[in-house]
Amino acid sequence: MFQIPEFDNLYLDMNGIIHMCSHPNDFDPHFRITEEKIFKDIFHYIEVSFETEIARDLIQTNVLV
């Protein structure tokens, strides 16, 4: 019924991924999360992205410092 389109490139906005994984609850000022949990969530997000998107040529990442 639905066909997943092919993509030439996969662009990951690492700033957005890192922010969402390190600040999942911005409304609670007392919320704490371990670095280990942050990294696990980042890698999980990237794995899911690779499983759902099909890139043919190049994987690009962008991190603003």
Predicted model pTM: 0.66
- How distant, in Å, are the alpha carbons of 29, 42, 52 from that of 22? 13, 9, 22
Per-residue pLDDT of the chain (65 residues; tens, 9 = 90+): 777 677 677 778 899 999 999 888 778 878 889 999 999 999 999 888 877 765 555 555 566 65
Strand partners, 62: 13
pLDDT at residue 63, rounded to an integer: 60
